[in-house]
Structures are given as C-alpha cells and as structure tokens.
C-alpha cells in the first residue's frame, strides 16, 4: 500500500482506516500524491478523508517570524514576575506563563496572570498551532507550498514547539517514522498515528499535545476546522466554558451537527479513546472515582475507562457519583458504535479483523459518516450509548463476536470481544445491530423496560421477534452463556452465592453458571441471586443456542434425536432433548439436558413451552401459587383431570421425564438426596432405576425420611395411574399391551392423565398370557405395589373411598395406607361389591406369587433360602413351601407372622388358593351340579364354602392336579386350625373351655380338640374336628403330627410304602408295638385315631363292596330270602378280616429298606 507521497506506510493507515485519527469522508477520486506538495494540497482541500485544513499560505509565510509572545507587551508584568529568567524564543515565554497558571490551578488557586495576558497566551498558542502569523510578514509574496518548504529549515519540525521540548524529543522519531511528513500538522498526525512506536520522551510530548488539544478545541486544528461554524451556530456551544467543554457540547448536540463536524468529531473520539485524560469532560467528572477505585491502574490503552465501567456495574458503597456513572456508560456505549472508537479492539484485533472480517471492514471503511451512522435526523442518541437505529455501524464488531471461537488468544482480541459482550449485556443499545434490527420489537414487546433488562425481555419473546432481531439476540445470548463473567449484573448479585457454593469452580465454559443453577433450590441460597438466576433462565430457556452446555455438547445427539426440531427452531430442540433424555449418549450433553429439565420442573416459567401451553390453566387453578420448588406443577397435577388438552399433554411429558431420571425432579432430589446416597449409591441413574430403588426400600427404613417417603409414595401412585409413566415397563410391555389391552392402550396413548391405570390393570388381569419375561417381571412389581397398597390402583381407590370412610376411618388417621389396607381386608365380607372385588383381586395376586407380595418376600427372605431354595417362585409354589414350614422351630417370627395372615386369608375363599383355583374348576363345577356343595356351616357369601366343598369331597375328585392341590390345603388344615374355613370361629367356645392357653399352630389345638372330642359341645366344631381326623387318617402326607414325628419310623418300617391310599399310615399302625418304634410317633398315631380304627375301616370297606354286589344282584337275594343274607354277611366278614390281616402281615413284616426322601408335598 502506498502512502500520500508514494512511500510505503502501514496498511492500517490507508483510506479505509483513516490515518492518524482523522474522520472518514465520502469516497472521492483522489489522484495519487507524488510529493509532499501534493499531500499538503490534498490536506488543504480535504481530499484525504478529512476536512480541509486552513490555508497554508499564511502559516508557511510566517515560519521563522512568530517565535514567542511579546516581552514588552500585555504580559510584561506577568513575565517579569514569573518568567524573568526565561529567554524568549521558540515559545519559551508562552510556555512559562502557561505552566505557571497550570500549577496554580493544580493548587486550586486563582490564575496567576492577568486576564489580558491569559488571552494573549491562548491566542499565541492558537496561532502557533496553525502556524499563522501577521500577513505583513512577507508583503507582496505568494510563495507556493513547494517553495515555502524548500526555504524552511529542515531542522525545525514546528515553527513553535507545541509543548516545551517537543522538537528535541521527537526529531529522531520524525525522521525515522514520518520521513514524508516533515513539518506542522501533517507531522503531528503521523506521530500520533505511530504513537506506540515512538520513543518514551517523544511519546510523552505527543500526549501533552493531545491533552492540550482535548482541553482547548482551538488547538485541535482538524476539529476546529471541521466544527468552527457549528460551534458558532449552536448557542450552548458558543459560550466559553471550562477545559474540554466545547467538545463535550458538540457531543451533546451530535444530532444537530453538520456532516463535516460529525466527521471531525468522529476522528477526535478515535484519538481520545486511548486515554481517559483526553476526554476532559469525562475525566473531570470522574476524578474522584479514578482515585478511589482505579488508582492501581496506569493511564493509557483505555485501562482507566475499562476499570471505571467495571465499577459502574458493581460500585463500592459511596464511591460512584451518578454523574460519573452516566458519563462512563455513555462513553463506553458510544465506543461500541464502531470498532475504531474502541482503542483496545482496534489495536488488539487488527490481525483478526484482517483475517476474519476483512469484508465487513472494507465495506464499513468506505462509508461516509451519514452512511455509517445514519443522517443526523435519523440518529437518536441514547445517553447510555447506542441509539444508531439508522446506518450500518457495528458490522465489524458483530463479525468478531460471531467468530469468537476463531479469535486469537495471544493478541488479546478474544478478551476484548468478551468485554464487548459484557458491556452489551448491561447496555444492549450499545449494540448498533440491536438498535437497528430490534427497534420495532422493542417498541412492541418491551416499550417500558429498563435497558439493563432489555435482553431478557426480548428473549422471553424470542419466538415472536423478527428474524433479524432474533439473530442479534441469539448471538449475544449464546456468548453471554459461555461464562458468568459475561453476565455482570447476575455476577454482581450472586457474589455471595458463588463464594458459598462455587468458589472452587473454574470460571470458563459456563461452569459457575451451572453450579449456581444446581444449587439455586437450596435453602441457604441467597434470595437476590436466585431471583436474578431465575429471570436469566426464564429468558434463555427459549432456545438451545442460549444454553452453552447444550449448544456445545449436544450437537451429535441433536442431529440424531431432533432432526425435525432442528429445522423448526431452538425451543423445540430443547424440549426434544428433554423428552429423549434417556436416549442421549454424550455424558456432558445428558448432564446439561437434565439440568434444563430440572429447571423447568422446579419453576414452570423456566420451561417456556410448558408454561405457554398451560398459562390459562395456571391462571385458572393455580393463580395464587408462587412459581418455584415444583409448586405450580404440583398444583396442576392436583387438577390433572381438568386440564386443557394442550396443558395435559405438556404436563404429562414433564412428569414422564421426572419419572425417567430422578435428577430432573428437584423436589425428589431435595427430599431424597440423603436416602439415595445411602440406599442407592450403586444404582445407575436414568431409566427410572433410582425411583425403583427407593420404592423397593424397606418401609420405614431409617435412611429414608418422611418427606422422601411421601415423595416416593406420590410418584408410585402416579406411575400406577398411567402406563407411559413407567419407563421400563412401558418399553417392555407395549407390544403385549397392544395385543391384550388394545382399548385401554388407545386411552393411554392420549397421554392426558385420563387412562386411570387401566392398561396396567388389564395386563395384571392377563398376566398369565404375557410372554415377555421382562414385561412379566415389571408387572409383578406393579402387582406387589398394589398388593401392599390397593389404592395405588386408581380404580380401586375410587371404588373403596366410601368403604374407607365407613369402616376404616380410624386406621386412615392413625395407621396410614398399610393399616387401611389391613382394615379393608378384615372387613372383606362387608365391603361394597366394587371395593370387595378389587380387594379380592389383589389379595389373590398376593397369594399366587411371592414376588407380588413384597412384604412377605422381605420378611421371609431368610426362610426362602433355608427351606425353599430349590422351589420355584411362581404359581404359589414358594408361598406354599413357606406355609408348609411355618411351624418349624427355625422359622423367623416376622415371617411366621406373615404366613399366619396368609393362612387365615386362604381359609376365607377359594380365590386365595392359587393351586385349587387353577386345577379344580372342573371338579368344583361337577360337585355344584351334583348338589355336593351344600353345607350347614354359616359361611358368608362364597367365603370358604367352595373350598370346604372340595376338601370334603376330595375322594371324589377326578383331576389328579386338583387332588394334589387339595392335599396341600389339607396339610395346612392338619397343622393349624386357622387354615380350615370357619373352624376357628366354630370352635372358639370349646377351645376356651377345653384348651385354654394352647397355641393354635403346630397342630396343637387340633390335638387338644381330638383328645376332648367327646366333650366338644358345639356340633359344628365336632363335625369339623372329625373331618380333620378323617383326612389325617387317610394320608401320611396330610397328617401334620405323623409326618412331623414319624419320619424315622417311616424310613425304618415303611420305606417301600407309597404315601397314596394310606399305605404309610397302615404300615405305621401295624408296627406301632415293635421294638424301635418311637414314643412321639406312637402318640401322633394315637392322636390321629389311626390304630384303633384302621381295621374297622377295612371291614367297612368290604361291607360296602358287598352291599354294592347285593344291589347289583337284587333278584337272587329276593328269591332266597333273608336267611341266606345273614349267613353270607357273616362269612364274608370273617373271610375279609382274615385275608386282610394276613396280607398286611406279609406286606410289612420286613425291615432294613433303603431310605426314601419324601417330596416337598410329604
């Protein structure tokens, strides 16, 4: 790039970036300057990007003429007094008087020179600055610029030193850095432009010149030339004021300035941006603040202005005046109107601008002031910066912001653009792009909003903004989201919170912000910080690009899970990720999505899509409920069946997410955090696993607080009310549900809280038809939860409300759901039909499979391993095995208690005996049709009647599996009186009289009643005792006392006998008197009436067979008469007795058999 004189100069000094701080002018065709004469001609006529300088004819003609003020003129007395030893020439006298007054001013004393002398000194410097002198110096001569330059001494840079010692300090720098600009104003402009390259002495002198120019506008030749007419035209600016007042006035009346003056002021502001002392109006207003809060900062490179701005956001008590704050905000805000007005950006980002934003820079640099900032009629300056609604400013800064990730860290550019983001976060209108593109949206949605809240206001309406405004907001918001330091107002409000919760958290990558989000629901979290954080989230949760963690870490998951939503927009992407959180693969992404979901679950306003869908419902049902802590969601759930369709669907999805991952439920995490650490530390988060762990915890466990138990209970009920609220089960069972429960699935798929758990109920009713093992296992858990608390079934809860009110109010008030359950089951016969039906269904389920009976499973965990380890759990096998060992000495008391309740329950109805229910339907129907099920026992409804019918007629059962199931029932009845339907009630008085103090288990009561059989008064009791005796005599497998006390004898004497057809019992009876036969076994046989009645029963059988023969041959009998009948009967009886006795003796006379291990049924 060639300079004005054809020599090489830095690219940044070409016209697209006005050299040496000059303002830009409209592009014009300028012939290439080939010499200093051409350059000076261009400067004189304004052809190099700035206003024309004053005519150089007079100034050049005066070179060498004006060297100092008149020693004997107006200032004689003042010179004699203050500068008597100073030699005149090169402005030394003028400088002496100037320094005298300056020192007095610093001491806050009055001026030391007379008013007339002060004016003469000022006029001298003004003339010297312009190199002007009396027109008579060179009378009659009109030298050209070239001849004047040729005649000038090349050793003098200026006719008069601008500041004392300037030429001596800067001569070498001028020769080396500005060889083409030898003298005067052009040289000064060059030295200013290359200030950073100057030697320290020269740089100090140049700064003093700049300071003089900033204090006195007439010393600033480019500004004076551009704005003299405007100053004279504007009354407020015409008046003389303190230092820097004229420039401040021009800035205050910016909209009234001419195009030429605006350009000049733009150039002056570029120069002032380096050091606050060059902005005299600002520096004067903030001197106290500079000393108070920025004393550790050195002047230059805009450090003091940066420091002051930081403290306007977080001022120390009493250190910041409102005047200073206003001026600092206005200055900083205006500096962001164009990259050239921000010294730190233009100096540190030069390389990045050339590399990344050259197109934007070239376009902007070609614009005139009106094109850049808009015409003065369209420009409405905001006192806090910005207001450039017209024009095209801000493009380079926008480009740098949009390419933040590519900026150089070593040059400091990235740090400067982050500061730009920070300033624009506090002063949104300092962003010209926002001022232009969001003007109508601001008027529409945020007309009365304070500037500091403007970004939040616009983002809350992000979906409604014009596309250009939305892009501006998303760019700014996405950058703010990277670090808490880019949200200065929030950081200021949250300093104590950061210190309390996040002091060791790194600042970058939004980590402190995320830390605040994670702790904001804690009791000790500062309220002011929480308010700021919630408002920030409410605004930024409208678009995934405003969420650093999600936008940074979720790119791959978004492309996989949310392709369609990515096309539609940001808010839908957030909801898509939330609803698919279980499928998110990236760990960091999942963490961010969970955090977002938790925020919306805590405060519905932080879930904009949900809130918008539910705003009417919230106003209708929850108007008085304050947001936060999940209160609004809880309120909506209390009215879930009344919600509008859109709100119900949105709330349903929210509840599903909370059920999938407990971390998204802030209320649950607050209540159950300690319990999770103690009970579920090894459980992987997600897919409902931690909820399952808490649900499976022992009721009343000391690790689980009451608050946590209440949360878990509420969640459990919700899961039972909706199929899709169960992440594991819904995945495993959906195909089964579609096949078995299509009608119910149609309701559940609406996801509107109106299916009332019907799919789960249907699947439980068809559990035996379910084929998927995982589905079946999930359903068993659900069955177990409903068994423990039937009110987990919404239909059962509704069906039993009246019964609870009628029968179990006291249990409800004092014992909770478990006692209510026990109360309802105890009153089973009195319940309403719908409630009884539900209760019986779940009572039956509890008896079918120990996995559906969690309380028994927990109480009998050790017993299962000890007695039934090889027994299957399904079809009631495990529970029956435990019942069969209920009276074993090693059985735990807690397990025995549960088994006793099961025993009593099974005596109430055939429904609670799964084997009988499954295997005896055919025989039961046959017995009913034959009239065998009539009974004189006072059963209520079907309680025990059908079971009693089957056991009474077991010898008539045709189905082998039914016989086996009934034998199992009889075994229990032999061991415990409470297992036989109605027996305990029928025998109560006789027990009290004949067997006081005898415990019922272990066949003790049965034995006692047998021993007092003749004394039993209640006929029903006696019939039942006899029936038990009959069954006990018929089978070794049934008889509890015999199978318990005769194990050794069976192995010794009867190991070849099979349990069927009473063979073992017969064998034992025949060997009862033999050596080695135990006393306990003898007593057991005696108590069962086996020995005394066995042979009689055999004769009775033979007689019965004879009777059948007679009935069959009735004609013969009638012919021979009654005489023959008696003879035949006598003979047959004797033969039968003899034969039977001989057969039994032959069959059981041997000993020494091998051991036969009885089966579980023995």
What is the DSSP secondary-structure string of 1119-1159?
A: HHHHHHHHHHHHHHHHHHHHHHHHHHHHHH----PPP----
How far apart CA 627 and CA 1132 sit, in angstroms, is 96
How far apart CA 1050 and CA 1150 sit, in angstroms, is 13
User: 647: closest CA among 695, 611, 678?
Assistant: 611
What is the DSSP secondary structure assignment for residue 951, as one 8-state letter? H
Q: What is the reported pLDDT for 1070?
A: 87
SS3 content of the chain, % helix, strand, coil (to 5): 70, 0, 30
Q: What is the reported pLDDT for 1138?
A: 64
| Tokens linked to 1121 | 């008469």
Q: What is the reported pLDDT for 682?
A: 92
How far apart CA 676 and CA 688 sit, in angstroms, is 13
Is the model more confident about 634 or about 219? 634
Q: What is the reported pLDDT for 385?
A: 45
How far apart CA 748 and CA 746 sit, in angstroms, is 6
| Tokens linked to 43 | 């400067």
Mean pLDDT of the chain: 83
pLDDT band at 1133 (very low <50, low <70, confident <90, very high): low
| Tokens linked to 1064 | 């073992």
- Mapped onto helix, strand or coil, the DSSP state of residue 1098 is helix
How far apart CA 1010 and CA 1012 sit, in angstroms, is 5
Q: What is the mean pLDDT of residues 1097-1103?
A: 51
839 and 800 Cβ atoms separated by less than 8 Å: yes
User: 411: closest CA among 345, 479, 509?
Assistant: 345
Q: What is the mean pLDDT of residues 960-970?
A: 94
pLDDT band at 376 (very low <50, low <70, confident <90, very high): low
Sign of CA dihedral 260, 266, 271, 272: positive
Q: What is the reported pLDDT for 1144?
A: 53
CA-to-CA dists, residue 133 to 56, 69, 158, 431, angstroms: 11, 12, 13, 47
In the chain, count of helices (H) and strands (E)? 68, 0
Q: Answer yes or no: is pLDDT of 1154 > 50.
A: no
Q: How many CB atoms lie within 10 A of CB 832?
A: 14
4 and 38 Cβ atoms separated by less than 8 Å: yes
Q: What is the reported pLDDT for 1162?
A: 33
1080 and 1045 Cβ atoms separated by less than 8 Å: yes
Question: pLDDT digit string (tens) for 80-115?
Answer: 999 988 888 888 888 898 889 888 877 888 888 898
Q: How many CA atoms lie within 13 A of 849 on its CB side?
A: 19
Q: How many CA atoms lie within 13 A of 395 on its CB side?
A: 18
Q: What is the reported pLDDT for 88?
A: 86
How far apart CA 1001 and CA 1004 sit, in angstroms, is 6
Q: What is the reported pLDDT for 14?
A: 35
Q: Answer yes or no: is pLDDT of 1128 > 70.
A: no
Q: How many CB atoms lie within 10 A of CB 499?
A: 10
Q: How many CA atoms lie within 13 A of 386 on its CB side?
A: 22
Question: pLDDT digit string (tens) for 10-39?
Answer: 333 333 333 333 333 333 333 333 333 343
Q: Dihedral angle at the C-alpha atoms of 775, 781, 785, 788, nearest 10 degrees?
A: 130
Q: Answer yes or no: is pLDDT of 1096 > 60.
A: no
Q: What is the mean pLDDT of residues 62-80?
A: 76
Q: What is the reported pLDDT for 5?
A: 30
Q: What is the mean pLDDT of residues 854-860?
A: 91
Q: Answer yes or no: is pLDDT of 381 > 90.
A: no
How far apart CA 711 and CA 81 sit, in angstroms, is 92
484 and 501 Cβ atoms separated by less than 8 Å: no
Q: What is the mean pLDDT of residues 396-407?
A: 94
Q: What is the reported pLDDT for 474?
A: 95
How far apart CA 851 and CA 1121 sit, in angstroms, is 68
How far apart CA 465 and CA 457 sit, in angstroms, is 11
Question: pLDDT digit string (tens) for 313-328?
Answer: 887 766 788 999 999 9
pLDDT band at 144 (very low <50, low <70, confident <90, very high): very low
Q: What is the reported pLDDT for 900?
A: 94
How far apart CA 36 and CA 54 sit, in angstroms, is 17
Q: What is the reported pLDDT for 1060?
A: 59
Q: What is the mean pLDDT of residues 827-852?
A: 91
pLDDT band at 387 (very low <50, low <70, confident <90, very high): very low
Backbone torsion region of residue 469, taken as left when φ is above 0, otherwise alpha when ψ lies between -120 and 50, otherwise beta: alpha
Q: What is the mean pLDDT of residues 850-857?
A: 90
pLDDT band at 1120 (very low <50, low <70, confident <90, very high): low
CA-to-CA dists, residue 783 to 713, 833, 901, angstroms: 15, 21, 19
Q: What is the mean pLDDT of residues 557-571?
A: 88
Question: pLDDT digit string (tens) for 39-62?
Answer: 333 433 333 334 443 333 333 333
What is the b/e burial string over 575-591, where b = at least 16 CB atoms within 10 angstroms of the residue's CB?
A: bbbbbbbeebeeeebbb
Question: pLDDT digit string (tens) for 1039-1084?
Answer: 999 989 998 999 999 888 876 567 888 888 888 888 889 999 998 8
Is the model more confident about 189 or about 316? 189
962 and 926 Cβ atoms separated by less than 8 Å: no
Lowest mean pLDDT of 60-64, 135-139, 679-683, name the range.
Answer: 135-139
Q: Answer yes or no: is pLDDT of 468 > 60.
A: yes
Contacts 24+ apart (CB under 8 A), 166-170: 166/205, 166/208, 166/209, 167/90, 169/199, 169/201, 169/202, 169/204, 169/205, 170/198, 170/201, 170/202, 170/205, 170/206
Is the model more confident about 130 or about 43? 130
| Tokens linked to 801 | 């409300």
| Tokens linked to 304 | 């003091």
Q: Answer yes or no: is pLDDT of 140 > 80.
A: no
Question: pLDDT digit string (tens) for 984-1035?
Answer: 999 999 999 999 999 988 999 999 999 999 999 999 999 999 999 999 988 8
Question: pLDDT digit string (tens) for 504-524?
Answer: 998 888 999 999 999 998 889
Lowest mean pLDDT of 715-729, 860-874, 956-970, name the range.
Answer: 860-874
Question: pLDDT digit string (tens) for 913-962?
Answer: 999 999 999 999 999 999 888 765 555 445 688 999 999 999 999 999 99
Is the model more confident about 382 or about 495? 495
Percent with pLDDT over 90 in the chain: 57
| Tokens linked to 821 | 């359950």
Q: How many CB atoms lie within 10 A of CB 62?
A: 20
Is the model more confident about 392 or about 569? 392
Contacts 24+ apart (CB under 8 A), 773-781: 774/728, 774/732, 775/729, 775/732, 775/733, 775/736, 777/851, 778/726, 778/728, 778/729, 778/732, 778/733, 779/729, 779/733, 780/849, 780/851, 780/852, 781/692, 781/851
Q: What is the reported pLDDT for 502?
A: 93
How far apart CA 686 and CA 111 sit, in angstroms, is 80
Is the model more confident about 1125 or about 558? 558
Lowest mean pLDDT of 242-246, 444-448, 855-859, name the range.
Answer: 242-246
What is the DSSP secondary-structure string of 312-360?
A: HHSPPTT---HHHHHHHHHHHHHHTTSGGG-HHHHHHSHHHHHHHSHHH
């Amino acid at each position: 790039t060639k300079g004005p004189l054809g020599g090489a100069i830095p690219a940044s000094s070409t016209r697209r970036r006005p050299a040496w701080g000059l303002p830009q002018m409209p592009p014009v065709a300028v012939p290439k300057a080939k010499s200093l004469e051409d350059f000076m001609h261009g400067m004189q006529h304004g052809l190099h990007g700035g206003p024309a300088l004053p005519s150089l004819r007079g100034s050049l003609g005066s070179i060498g003429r004006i060297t100092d003020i008149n020693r004997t003129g107006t200032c004689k007395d003042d010179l004699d007094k203050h500068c008597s030893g100073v030699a005149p020439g090169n402005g030394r006298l003028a400088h002496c008087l100037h320094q005298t007054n300056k020192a007095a001013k610093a001491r806050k004393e009055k001026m030391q020179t007379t008013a007339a002398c002060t004016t003469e000194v000022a006029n001298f410097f003004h003339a010297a600055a312009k190199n002007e002198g009396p027109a008579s110096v060179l009378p009659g001569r009109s030298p050209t610029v070239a001849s004047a330059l040729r005649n000038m001494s090349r050793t003098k840079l200026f006719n008069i030193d601008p500041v004392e010692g300037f030429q001596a300090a800067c001569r070498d720098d001028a020769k080396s850095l500005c060889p083409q600009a030898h003298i005067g104003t052009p040289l000064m402009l060059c030295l200013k432009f290359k200030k950073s390259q100057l030697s320290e002495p020269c740089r100090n002198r140049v700064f003093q010149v700049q300071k003089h120019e900033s204090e006195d506008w007439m010393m600033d030749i480019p500004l004076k030339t551009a704005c003299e007419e405007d100053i004279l035209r504007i009354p407020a600016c015409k008046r003389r004021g303190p230092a820097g007042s004229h420039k401040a006035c021009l800035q205050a009346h910016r909209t009234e300035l001419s195009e030429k003056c605006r350009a000049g002021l733009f150039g002056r502001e570029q120069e002032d941006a380096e050091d606050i002392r060059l902005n005299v109006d600002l520096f004067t207003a903030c001197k106290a603040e500079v000393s108070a809060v920025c004393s550790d900062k050195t002047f230059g490179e805009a450090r003091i202005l940066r420091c002051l701005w930081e403290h306007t956001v977080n001022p120390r008590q009493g250190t910041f005046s409102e005047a200073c704050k206003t001026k600092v905000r206005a200055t900083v805000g205006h500096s962001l109107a164009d990259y050239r007005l921000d010294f730190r950006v233009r100096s540190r980002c030069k390389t990045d601008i050339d590399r990344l934003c050259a197109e934007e820079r070239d376009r902007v640099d070609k614009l005139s002031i009106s094109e850049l900032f808009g015409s003065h009629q369209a420009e409405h300056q905001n006192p806090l910066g910005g207001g450039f609604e017209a024009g095209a400013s801000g493009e380079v800064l926008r480009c740098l912001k949009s390419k933040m990730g590519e900026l150089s860290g070593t040059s400091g550019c990235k740090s400067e653009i982050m500061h730009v983001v920070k300033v624009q976060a506090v002063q949104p209108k300092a962003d010209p792009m926002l001022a232009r593109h969001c003007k109508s949206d601001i008027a529409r949605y945020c007309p009365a909003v304070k500037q500091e809240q403007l970004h939040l206001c616009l983002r809350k309406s992000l979906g409604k903004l014009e596309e250009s405004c939305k892009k501006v907001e998303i760019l700014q918001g996405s950058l703010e989201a990277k670090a808490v330091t880019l949200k200065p107002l929030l950081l200021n409000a949250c300093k104590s919170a950061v210190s309390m919760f996040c002091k060791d958290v790194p600042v970058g990558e939004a980590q402190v912000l995320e830390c605040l989000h994670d702790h904001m629901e804690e009791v000790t979290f500062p309220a002011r910080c929480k308010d700021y954080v919630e408002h920030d989230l409410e605004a930024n949760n409208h678009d995934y690009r405003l969420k650093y963690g999600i936008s940074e870490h979720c790119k791959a998951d978004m492309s996989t899970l949310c392709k369609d939503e990515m096309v539609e927009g940001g808010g839908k992407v957030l909801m898509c990720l939330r609803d698919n959180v279980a499928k998110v693969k990236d760990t960091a992404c999942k963490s961010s999505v969970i955090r977002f979901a938790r925020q919306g679950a805590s405060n519905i306003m932080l879930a904009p899509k949900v809130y918008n869908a539910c705003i009417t419902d919230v106003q209708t049902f929850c108007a008085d409920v304050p947001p936060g802590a999940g209160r609004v969601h809880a309120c909506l759930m209390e009215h879930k069946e009344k919600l509008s369709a859109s709100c119900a669907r949105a709330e349903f999805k929210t509840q599903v997410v909370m059920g999938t991952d407990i971390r998204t439920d802030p209320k649950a995490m607050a209540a159950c955090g300690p319990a999770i650490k103690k009970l579920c530390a090894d459980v992987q988060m997600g897919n409902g696993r931690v909820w399952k762990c808490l649900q499976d915890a022992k009721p009343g466990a000391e690790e689980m607080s009451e608050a946590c138990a209440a949360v878990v209970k509420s969640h459990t009920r919700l899961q039972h009310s909706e199929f899709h609220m169960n992440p594991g089960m819904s995945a495993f069972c959906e195909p089964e549900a579609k096949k078995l429960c299509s009608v119910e699935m149609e309701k559940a798929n609406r996801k509107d809280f109106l299916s009332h758990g019907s799919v789960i109920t249907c699947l439980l009713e068809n559990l035996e038809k379910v084929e998927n093992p995982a589905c079946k296992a999930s359903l068993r858990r659900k069955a177990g939860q409903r068994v423990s608390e039937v009110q987990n079934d919404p239909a059962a809860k509704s069906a039993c409300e009246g019964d609870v009110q009628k029968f179990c109010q006291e249990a409800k008030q004092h014992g909770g759901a478990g006692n209510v359950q026990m109360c309802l089951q105890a009153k089973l016969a009195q319940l309403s039909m719908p409630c009884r039906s539900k209760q019986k269904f779940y009572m039956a389920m509890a008896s079918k499979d120990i996995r559906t009976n969690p309380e028994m499973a927990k109480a009998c965990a050790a017993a299962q391993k000890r007695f039934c380890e090889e027994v299957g759990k399904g079809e009631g096998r495990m529970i029956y095995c435990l019942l069969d060992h209920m009276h074993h000495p090693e059985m735990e008391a807690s397990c025995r208690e549960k088994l006793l309740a099961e025993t009593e329950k099974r005596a109430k109805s055939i429904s609670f005996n799964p084997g009988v229910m499954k295997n005896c339907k055919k025989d039961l129907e046959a017995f009913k049709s034959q009239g065998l099920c009539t009974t004189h026992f006072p059963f209520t409804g079907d309680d025990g009647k059908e079971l009693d019918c089957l056991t009474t007629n077991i010898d008539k059962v045709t189905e082998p599996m039914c016989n086996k199931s009934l034998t199992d029932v009889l075994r229990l009845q032999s061991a415990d009186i409470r297992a036989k339907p109605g027996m305990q009630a029928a025998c109560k008085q006789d027990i009290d009289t004949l067997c006081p103090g005898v415990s019922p288990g272990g066949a003790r009561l049965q034995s006692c009643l047998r021993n007092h059989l003749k004394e039993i008064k209640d006929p029903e009791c006696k019939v039942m005792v006899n029936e038990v005796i009959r069954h006990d005599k018929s089978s070794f497998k049934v008889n509890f006392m015999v199978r318990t006390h005769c194990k050794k004898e069976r192995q010794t004497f009867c190991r070849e006998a099979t349990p069927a057809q009473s063979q073992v019992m017969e064998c034992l009876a025949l060997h009862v008197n033999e050596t080695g036969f135990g006393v306990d076994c003898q007593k057991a046989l005696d108590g069962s009436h086996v020995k005394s009645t066995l042979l009689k029963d055999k004769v009775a059988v033979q007689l019965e067979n004879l009777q059948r023969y007679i009935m069959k041959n009735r004609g013969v009998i009638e012919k021979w008469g009654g005489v023959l009948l008696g003879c035949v009967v006598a003979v047959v009886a004797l033969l039968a007795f003899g034969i039977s006795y001989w057969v039994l003796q032959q069959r059981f006379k041997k000993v020494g058999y091998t051991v036969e291990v009885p089966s579980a049924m023995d």
